[in-house]
Chain A
Amino acid sequence: MQANAPPPIQCRDLSRSFGHAGARVDALEPVELHFAAGETTAIVGPSGCGKSTLLRLIAGLDTPSTGSVRIGGETPLQMRQRAALSVAFQDAALLPWRTVRGNIALARKLARLPPDPASVDRLIALVGLAGFEDRRPADLSGGMRQRAAIARCLISDPRVLLLDEPFGAVDELTRARLNHELPALWQGRGVTTLLVTHSVSEAVMLSDRVIVLSPRPARVVADIAIDLARPRATGAEADALIANVTEALAQSAPPRPQPA
């Protein structure tokens, strides 16, 4: 397998429960999932359904209770150690004492790649932060912080990109703009992308495939292919798919308890 080709991701019998006998919480029921190489898959589900747990398991930031994750035949740890994987976090996770430039350069340092100031500045311009290179995160808006976080993800030129509600903390308008501008940066660069979100429209606009999870313990209740041309725009076709996913999401919820 070529080192630079995007790898497929294989989850076998993957589950996670917390606590121990007596007070056990199942965050994720055993799932079988396969994500094709180079595809963008969105994982949607109600709040607290375990989507983030699934992403953390795939990133190897958490240890599964059962099952395993293989990314192109490697373990998540092996992927992380050769810096082939990047994670974008819900809260951007920028270090407040580093500038935008410093935060992005940190990823190369952590990934043990040689410093590359030219690429750092080019990426900053690409995500639309030119002129803010020497600002600290506290001086940036929520949307700008997410732009910086995305730039940090891309600076190590990963083969797998794991996005955990990266635009969850910004307002709807900003989110739409980020959704429009940023994905072009990694799409078509040979990256296998997983996106966790609770926004159905975001899932449809960004991905090749949408997986719908049920409330906890999470199960896969729908697996919908998104065959829309890129660049994408809202329209009847997209609306129909959004309705599809929304329907699946509604069906996944257990019926409300009825009074006896």
Chain B
Amino acid sequence: MTIALHQLRRRGADRFYPVLSALVALLMWELLARVFAQTYLIAGPVEISRYLWDHAGLVARAAGITTFAAAIGFVLGNAVAIALAVAAVLLPSLARLISALALVVFCLPLVATGPILRVIWGPGLGPQITLAALAVYYTTFLPLMVGLRAAPPSWFDLVRSYGRGRFSALVEVRAMASLPYLFAGLQIAAPAAFLGAMFGEFTGAERGMGVLTIRAMRSLDVAGTWALASTAAAISMLAYAGLGRLSRALNNGPPPLILAPVLEGERRARWRALLHPILVTLILLAIWWLSMEAANLSPFFAKRPADVWAFLITAPEAAAHRATLGAALLETLVLALPGYLLGLALGLGLAIVLVLAPKLARGVMPVAIALRAIPIVITAPLIVVALGRGPAGTITIVALMIFFPSLVACYQGLARTPRQVLDLFDSYAASPLRRMASAQFPAMLPAFFAAARMAVPAAILAATTAEWLATGRGIGGLMALTASTSGYKMLWSAVVVLAAVAVAGYVVVAQIERAVLRIYGAEQLTR
């Protein structure tokens, strides 16, 4: 009886903590807004509510349009992701190629893709839907690839022992075994779809949340900017929570920890290691060229690989083009890199603090997981409004973009330390710090690096978005300028260079990961 009562109280506490911390956060927000009303441009919850009350119809219509585009993009992007992952599993020899192509497309800078899609699609929902689909397919593809391979070998032996092949294994074993992973991916994808749709609206849509956001920011409407960002965040969090609920209803057991598989897996002969990236590049260029030709797109705005090559390498002014692009890129990276490192370090640091102080974690983690659902980039205008157009604003946006996913990944990674290992440390009465340094930290490393890899394209996205929308500097600013002056050669070149930089950054982090994990135990290397 007392035990039941205790459990009841405990369950009540588990519900109570997140509510309490959400209330505290709201209160602190309101306080900050009032205290710093003179120095920073922050709108508190009260002011936001008033704005939303006054503009309910306008905001509701815009949210409806954006949600509609996001939903269509969500369905299309995920359908492609599922098809790609299934193809990779049914044709193992193509799996690496499919994964590599998927990664490169994921590294495309959404910011610059927007205006290009706008001229290709013309007015309407086309670019919003395409960008929403582009924003979600990788977050679903990656966990699905892990999930489709997550079943124990004896389950596949069972299928084979009756003479059945890959297709039966897919239907009877992999499909169900991958469901929790698929839902974990879909959950992250829901807010990402909303982000993609808003991005599409940033670049010349007539209606939607993105349009209102740009308008509010340009006219320095503080309450409006904050209200729109809050609405977008609320919709994202609702979608995230709804999918989480659906996932819990369909799957039992906790959601799996997704470690993004490192692309460079098995040891291969040197010539093959070199050949593979070249092959992937060639196939990508072919897809690019063929799709432009097949759709019969005007060479004025739909540049082909040869145009970019000429623009950067063979044209008489190529050196000048390279200098412009290089200088802008450098300006961006100088801000993106500190923001990236800061976001990772803060996420890692807070995760460690929360594991050492579990009581605190009960309140903070639900809020952090919820905040992870907010596509931070849509808050870029608001941070720029608050912190100004200097480097601090851009660095903050990049750091924030990376902070929440890193925090959640590191926290889950720390919790993954095997129970017996912790018992061993406890049996020697080791201090929590010693336990952290010797047991939990090494066990967390794969999760940390998985987050660090995924954060590379995110950092570039965040930095270029801030530049595009607000500061007008760096490669984001350059792209905004060339998009408005129809400088499509420069725009396409910037897309190519940024995608290449993101892929290179991803590969560098993967190399560091391999080196570190080799020291901390090869069995932790994710494939």
Q: What residues make up the interface of A, taking CB atoms closer than 8 Å to B?
A: 56, 59, 61, 77, 80-83, 85-87, 89-91, 93, 95, 97, 106-107, 109-111, 156
Contact = CB atoms under 8 A, between A and B. Distances in A.
Interface residues of B, number: 15
Contacts of B157: 56, 59, 61, 87, 89, 93
17 contacts: A56-B157, A61-B161, A80-B160, A81-B163, A82-B163, A83-B162, A86-B161, A87-B161, A91-B152, A91-B154, A93-B157, A95-B172, A95-B173, A97-B176, A106-B172, A110-B159, A110-B162
A72 B152 CA distance: 31
B97 to A, nearest CB: 24
Contact of B154 (A80, A83, A86, A89): A89
A93 B169 CA distance: 13
B176 A95 contact: yes
A59 B161 contact: yes
A95 B155 contact: yes
Question: Which 9 A-B pairs rank lowest in CB-CB distance, beginning with the nearest?
Answer: A81-B163, A80-B163, A110-B162, A93-B154, A87-B161, A89-B154, A111-B162, A97-B176, A93-B158
Interface in B134-178: 152, 154-155, 157-164, 168, 172-173, 176
A134 B173 CA distance: 19
Nearest to A153: B161
B139 to A, nearest CB: 24
Nearest to A136: B252
Nearest to A162: B161
Nearest to B161: A87
Contacts of A87: 157-158, 161
Nearest to A77: B163
Given A80-B161, A110-B162, A93 B155 contact: yes
B73 to A, nearest CB: 30
A90 B154 contact: yes
Interface string B7-19: 0000000000000
Contact of B162 (A56, A93, A97, A107): A107
Contacts of B158: 87, 89, 93, 110
A56 B161 CA distance: 10
B154 A110 contact: no
Nearest to A92: B154
A95 B151 CA distance: 10
Contacts of B152: 91, 93
| Residue in A59, A86, A93 whose Cβ sees the most chain B Cβ within 10 Å | A93
Given A83-B163, A87-B161, A110 B155 contact: no
A80 B162 contact: yes
A174 to B, nearest CB: 20
A106 B176 CA distance: 14
Given A61-B160, A61-B161, A80-B162, A110 B172 contact: yes
Contacts of A82: 163
A120 to B, nearest CB: 16
A93 B158 CA distance: 7
Contacts of B172: 95, 106, 109-110
A93 B162 CA distance: 14
Contacts of A90: 154
Contacts of A110: 158-159, 162, 164, 168, 172
A154 to B, nearest CB: 13
Contacts of A97: 176
Contacts of B154: 89-91, 93
A156 B163 CA distance: 13
Interface string B164-198: 10001000110010000000000000000000000
Contacts of A95: 155, 172-173, 176
Contacts of B159: 110
Contacts of B161: 59, 61, 80, 85-87
Nearest to A82: B163
A21 to B, nearest CB: 14
A153 to B, nearest CB: 9
| Residue in A87, A106, A110 whose Cβ sees the most chain B Cβ within 10 Å | A110
Contacts of A156: 162
A56 to B, nearest CB: 8
| Residue in A56, A90, A106 whose Cβ sees the most chain B Cβ within 10 Å | A106
A35 B411 CA distance: 55
Given A59-B157, A80-B163, 15 more contacts: A61-B161, A81-B163, A86-B161, A87-B161, A89-B157, A91-B152, A93-B154, A93-B155, A95-B176, A106-B172, A107-B162, A109-B172, A110-B164, A110-B168, A111-B163
